[in-house]
Amino acid sequence: MGDYLNDANVKFSGMITKSDKTFGEIKTNFKWQDFLFKDFFTFSKMSDKDLQAQLDYEKKKQYVINIINNDKHALKILNKEKMTDMILSAASETGIDPIIIACIAKQESHFNQNVGIANGSGIMQLTTISIEDMYLRPQVYDKNLKPLMRKYGSLEKILEAKKKDPSIDLGAFGKILEKYKNPKALMKALRKDSALNIKMGAYLFKAKLAQAHGNEKKALVLYNGSKIKEKYAKEVIASIIDVRTKNKYDKNFGCVV
């Protein structure tokens, strides 16, 4: 709890917004003030493990917000808080470092869902070829589907079996493929749904990272797949390293693949 109190002091210092020398008053931002006390009482009820998890989450959130803030090409109307939450949600579900997801999103589209470059769509610039592959080889994108693919042979047969046996666990990735019956339906959704776009981009990178045996630069080369993939990977890696170095960031802190 002592560590949290130190953290709270930092937040408290952020409350002071203006000093009025005439009357010797210090005006505060009451939104910060309300957050501070609500935050304190919430944290005081947590176990040490839960407290550490929450503090880690807050750190990740700040890292991602900083990446977005430093993108000079991001839209002025971008809802940075919402974008950060979507990235952290995708990171939590896939186990991919949120810094990597944010840096890919920055490089691919500057966090703009409406950008379409070549055959790519949305924030993570997903292609039809990549989405089709997810339906053909779902076990590549979620290792939990490997036993089901060995047993049934295809995603179509897995879904048929699940209709008869609802207890079959498809996992988070499999449930997405179940919801969108085919690649065309998923691509249509990816063009409209930013959160889904980011999540599927994270799953795609996860598969490429496994293919590259954990080498992030090689995974980024595989993720891009264009003629400039080496240049692309170099630029994204530079952004990732910059964030990690400035924040003395532990690589294992965000990525559990």
Neighbour-count burial of 246, counting CB atoms closer than 10 A to its CB (0-12 exposed, 13-18 middle, 19+ buried): exposed
Q: What tokens appear for 180 in the block?
A: 């969108």
Q: From residue 26, give the alpha-carbon distance in Å to each of 18, 37, 94.
A: 6, 19, 45
Helix (H) or strand (E) holding 27: strand 25-28
CB–CB of 209/103 below 8 Å? no
The predicted model scores a pTM of 0.80
Give the tens place of pLDDT for each residue, 34-77: 545 556 556 566 788 888 888 888 999 999 999 999 999 999 99
Residue in 248, 195, 219, 211 with CA at minimum distance from that of residue 87: 195
Give the tens place of pLDDT for each residue, 198-232: 999 999 999 999 999 999 999 999 999 878 899 99
For 61-146+180-254, the fitting CATH number among 1.10.530.10, 3.40.190.170, 3.40.50.450, 2.60.120.10 is 1.10.530.10
Count the Cβ atoms, other than its own, within 10 Å of residue 78. Answer: 15
Neighbour-count burial of 200, counting CB atoms closer than 10 A to its CB (0-12 exposed, 13-18 middle, 19+ buried): buried
Q: Where in the chain is the domain with CATH 1.10.530.10?
A: 61-146+180-254
